[in-house]
């Protein structure tokens, strides 16, 4: 983009912030989360699962930076361990959904009418179930565990990726460079991998960032209902639920995990919005 | 219009058929013997009589395609089977619970739509001033907060700290209307928060997109007042994407109601579902999930029809 000569620095900064602002807010938040998740054992020094009845429901202090919960466990340490669960579920399930959706979406766009109808109508059908109900339905039979949670949430988001990939692939399937690859005798898998995929990565990345936010909402919701990884694994949703039972004593133990979930989802949403604005040239002005 | 209606209705029926098929085969697709799963997972040691009882009740002793045909046939007559726990018809349980879930979803839809559209217009008309970024950031925060967090925070503030409203429970409106309303306020707000934020964002961007078009300048040039331009010209054209979003939100609220009913001990469909999970009452679980999907498809159908009524271009496609 050419800036007209003599454009004041402030206007440039404003334009720069408008374009990258959301991403600039999101990335430090996510970085802080990663540091908290993996650095906590080194600088906190509390066992997140150690029950200590003598320090039940304490206010924040130098020893317990965010206070303790109703079992005398250090809330900050539990938040930090919960962050690992949250990040693990979000990233693993989104990768699963993105890979599955990309495969199904390109196959639907390439393998002819029959496969397309079966795949896309199945996806339509899956999208008819409110996702959390479908998740509850499956968890009931598979049992609550971390791996099952990842598989279920990943599976639930496959239809969204399939739709995005399917429509993006259809949009560029007949463009000249794809046609020339075909004319040179490239096989369909090769065309998909070399000509199509690189050109539909942008919408997949945007979708992935937004889906990560959704995955966290889903994970914490299921944990809140007691369908997440079994205790004593500290997951944020379960922390909210358990502290809720002791709301009469103090509402602080609810505020912390609630804030953690909301800020993390917010960061992924900002990242997704920012990426979409950045990668979609039509929205630029 | 009639051809469009016919096409959309038959598409929805086809979709419901796919939904029912997916749901029927789901229990067979999941790993493990469905009977053992229902009788308590890997750890349980059910007696042969129990196994035979569940098999006979679910018809699992017959070939798969016979089961499927029988199941579909019953479904068309509204027979969803009987509860494994107390042998009551599932359809009757669902009929008892559905109105109570609707008592949450309908007020929440009204609140979310009214507040979302007015806040969105408010923000759009104050673009470039301080009120717009404040409203927009609040909306972004609003749909980043999980429904259960909003619910718990509302309880913490209005029930525990201020003591204004009951923290949970349900009173039928036939018995005590003011009690019903007092119990309704917090769950409605919790359920409406995220849809309101999404509606607000959609209204704002749709409104701004329309406001930059030529016909708006024409309307201003011929001397119409600003509220007249905003309400009569811009909003009418901005309404299309808003209707779609509101429709999607209603579907989403049936999902959000799972958590809201749990927090506020609201005896609706989802509480029935969560109770049935602990007893592994498969016919009820299946019934609730199916009903939710039917409602979802129905809401989408109505949304599409509203869309066609508002936008003549779709009708004559």
pLDDT (0 to 100) of residue B304: 80
Please, which pLDDT band fits residue B73 given cuts at 50, 70 and 90?
confident
- Asked whether the beta carbons of B5 and B305 are under 8 A apart, the reply is yes
Each residue's pLDDT tens digit, B96-123: 888 888 889 999 999 999 999 888 888 8
* Chain A hits for B143, Cβ within 8 Å: 269
In whole angstroms, how far apart are CA A94 and each of A100, A198, A233, B161?
Answer: 10, 19, 22, 39
Stronger pLDDT, B227 or B55, i.e. the higher one? B227
A136 and B277: CB-CB below 8 Å?
Answer: yes
B27 and A141: CB-CB below 8 Å?
Answer: yes
Owner of token pair 């919408």: A203
pLDDT (0 to 100) of residue B41: 56
In whole angstroms, how far apart are CA A111 and each of A114, A166, A189, B201?
Answer: 8, 12, 11, 38
Q: What is the DSSP string of chain A?
A: -PPPTT--HHHHHHHHHHHHHHHHHHHHHHHHHHHHHHHHHHHT---TT---GGGTTPPP-SSSTT-B-TTS-BHHHHHHHHHHHHHHHHHHHHHHHHHHHHHHHHHHHHS-HHHHHHHHHHHHHHHTS-HHHHHHHHHHHH-S-HHHHHHHHHHHHHHHHHHHHHHHHHHHTTSHHHHHHHHTT--HHHHIIIIIHHHHHHHHHHHHHHHHHHHHHHHHHHHHTT-SSPTTS--HHHHHHHHHTTTTT-SHHHHHHHHHHHHHHHHHHHHHHHHHHHH-GGG--
Give the rounded percent of residues in chain B with a pLDDT score beyond 90.
5
pLDDT (0 to 100) of residue A92: 94
Residue A155 sits at the chain B interface (C-beta within 8 Å): no
ipTM (interface pTM): 0.79
pLDDT (0 to 100) of residue A83: 86
* Closest-approach residue (CA) in chain A for B20: A125
* Chain A hits for B149, Cβ within 8 Å: 240, 258, 261-262
* Chain B hits for A220, Cβ within 8 Å: 146, 148
Distance from CA of B23 to the nearest CA of A (A): 10
DSSP E strand boundaries for B136-260: none
Listed range (A138-142, B73-77, B248-252) with the worst mean pLDDT: A138-142
pLDDT at B282 > cutoff 80: no
Listed range (A18-27, A48-57, A226-235, B33-42) with the worst mean pLDDT: B33-42
What average pLDDT does the segment B277-304 reach?
82
Measure the CA–CA gap between A57 and A252, rounded to whole angstroms.
Answer: 9
Please, which pLDDT band fits residue B236 given cuts at 50, 70 and 90?
confident
Torsion of CA B124, B128, B131, B136, to 10 degrees: 60
Please, which pLDDT band fits residue A281 given cuts at 50, 70 and 90?
low
Residue A261 sits at the chain B interface (C-beta within 8 Å): yes
Each residue's pLDDT tens digit, A159-184: 999 988 988 888 887 788 888 888 88
Output the six-digit token pair for B189.
């707000």
What average pLDDT does the segment B146-156 reach?
88
pLDDT at A148 > cutoff 70: yes
Output the six-digit token pair for B156.
């913490």
A262 and B289: CB-CB below 8 Å?
Answer: no
pLDDT at A119 > cutoff 90: no
A265 and B145: CB-CB below 8 Å?
Answer: yes
Distance from CA of B56 to the nearest CA of A (A): 20
pLDDT (0 to 100) of residue A62: 63
Output the six-digit token pair for B143.
């749909």
Residue A124 sits at the chain B interface (C-beta within 8 Å): yes
* Chain A hits for B292, Cβ within 8 Å: 129-130, 133
Instruction: Collect contacts of B243-248 with beta carbons under 8 A, ≥24 apart.
Output: B243/B303, B243/B306, B243/B307, B243/B310, B244/B303, B244/B307, B245/B198, B245/B199, B245/B202, B246/B109, B246/B112, B246/B113, B246/B116, B246/B195, B246/B199, B246/B303, B247/B299, B247/B300, B247/B302, B247/B303, B247/B304, B247/B306, B248/B300, B248/B303
pLDDT at A93 > cutoff 80: yes
Listed range (A212-221, B6-15, B47-56) with the worst mean pLDDT: B47-56
**Exposure pattern of B166-191 as b/e (b: 16+ CB <10 Å)?**
bbeebbeeeeeeeeeeebbbbbbbbb
Distance from CA of A195 to the nearest CA of B (A): 34
| Mean of per-residue pLDDT scores for chain B | 81
pLDDT at B37 > cutoff 80: no
pLDDT (0 to 100) of residue B34: 63
* Closest-approach residue (CA) in chain B for A266: B144
* Closest-approach residue (CA) in chain A for B162: A248
In whole angstroms, how far apart are CA B87 and each of A15, B82, B91?
Answer: 66, 5, 12
Residue A244 sits at the chain B interface (C-beta within 8 Å): yes
Residue A252 sits at the chain B interface (C-beta within 8 Å): no
Indicate yes or no: pTM above 0.80. Answer: yes
pLDDT (0 to 100) of residue B162: 83
Given B21, B152, B252, which is nearest A244 (Cβ)?
A: B152
Please, which pLDDT band fits residue A6 given cuts at 50, 70 and 90?
low
Residue A189 sits at the chain B interface (C-beta within 8 Å): no
Please, which pLDDT band fits residue A285 given cuts at 50, 70 and 90?
very low
Each residue's pLDDT tens digit, A71-80: 667 777 788 8
Output the six-digit token pair for B60.
């699992």
* Chain B hits for A126, Cβ within 8 Å: 22
pLDDT (0 to 100) of residue B184: 85
Stronger pLDDT, B132 or B313, i.e. the higher one? B132
Mutate to test the interface with A, among B149, B156, B193, B248 (most CBs of A within 10 A): B149
Measure the CA–CA gap between A140 and A144, rounded to whole angstroms.
Answer: 8
């Amino acid at each position: 983009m050419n800036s007209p000569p003599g454009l004041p620095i402030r206007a440039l900064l404003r334009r720069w912030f408008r374009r990258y602002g959301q991403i600039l807010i999101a990335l430090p938040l996510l970085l802080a989360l990663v540091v908290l998740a993996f650095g906590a054992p080194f600088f906190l020094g509390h066992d997140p699962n150690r029950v200590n009845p003598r320090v039940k429901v304490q206010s924040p202090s130098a020893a317990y930076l965010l206070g303790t919960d109703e079992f005398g466990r250090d809330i900050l340490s539990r938040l930090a361990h919960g962050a690992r669960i949250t990040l693990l579920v979000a990233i693993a399930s989104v990768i699963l959904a993105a890979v599955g959706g990309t495969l199904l979406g390109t196959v639907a766009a390439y393998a002819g009418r029959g496969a397309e109808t079966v795949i896309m109508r199945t996806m339509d059908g899956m999208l008819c179930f409110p996702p959390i109900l479908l998740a509850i339905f499956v968890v009931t039979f598979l049992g609550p565990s971390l791996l099952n949670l990842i598989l279920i949430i990943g599976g639930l988001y496959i239809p969204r990726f399939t739709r995005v990939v399917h429509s993006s692939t259809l949009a560029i399937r007949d463009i000249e460079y794809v046609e020339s690859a075909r004319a040179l005798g490239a096989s369909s898998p090769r065309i998909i991998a070399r000509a199509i995929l690189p050109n539909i990565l942008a919408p997949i990345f945007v979708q992935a960032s937004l889906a990560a936010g959704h995955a966290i909402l889903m994970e914490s919701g299921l944990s809140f209902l007691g369908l997440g990884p079994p205790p004593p694994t500290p997951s944020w949703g379960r922390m909210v639920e358990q502290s809720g039972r002791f709301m009469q004593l103090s509402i602080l133990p609810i505020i912390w995990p609630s804030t953690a979930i909301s800020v993390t989802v917010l960061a992924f949403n900002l990242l997704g919005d920012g990426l979409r604005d950045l990668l979609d040239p039509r929205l630029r002005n | 219009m009639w051809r469009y209606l016919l096409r959309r209705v038959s598409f929805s029926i086809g979709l419901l058929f796919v939904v029912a098929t997916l749901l029927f085969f789901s229990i067979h697709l999941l790993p493990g013997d469905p009977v053992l799963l229902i009788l308590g997972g890997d750890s349980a040691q059910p007696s042969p009589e129990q196994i035979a009882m569940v098999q006979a009740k679910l018809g699992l002793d017959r070939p798969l395609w016979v089961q499927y045909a029988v199941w579909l046939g019953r479904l068309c007559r509204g027979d969803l089977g009987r509860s494994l726990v107390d042998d009551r018809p599932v359809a009757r349980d669902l009929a008892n619970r559905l109105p109570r879930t609707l008592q949450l979803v309908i007020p929440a839809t009204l609140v979310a739509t009214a507040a979302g559209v007015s806040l969105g217009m408010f923000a759009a008309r104050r673009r470039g001033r301080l009120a717009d970024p404040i409203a927009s950031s609040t909306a972004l925060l609003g749909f980043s907060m999980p429904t259960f967090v909003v619910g718990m925070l509302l309880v913490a503030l209005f029930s525990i700290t201020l003591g204004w409203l009951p923290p949970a429970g349900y009173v039928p409106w036939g018995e005590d209307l003011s009690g019903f309303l007092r119990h309704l306020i917090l769950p409605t707000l919790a359920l409406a928060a995220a849809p309101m934020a999404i509606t607000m964002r959609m209204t704002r961007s749709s409104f701004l997109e329309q406001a930059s078009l030529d016909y708006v300048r024409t309307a201003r040039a011929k001397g119409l007042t600003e509220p007249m331009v905003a309400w009569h010209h811009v909003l009418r054209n901005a309404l299309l994407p808003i209707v779609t979003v509101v429709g999607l939100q209603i579907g989403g609220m049936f999902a959000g109601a799972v958590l809201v009913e749990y927090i506020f001990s609201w005896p609706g469909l989802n509480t029935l579902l969560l109770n049935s999970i602990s007893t592994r009452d498969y016919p009820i679980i299946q019934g609730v999930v199916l009903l939710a999907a039917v409602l979802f498809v129905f809401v989408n159908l109505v949304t599409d029809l509203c869309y066609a009524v508002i936008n003549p271009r779709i009708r004559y496609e």
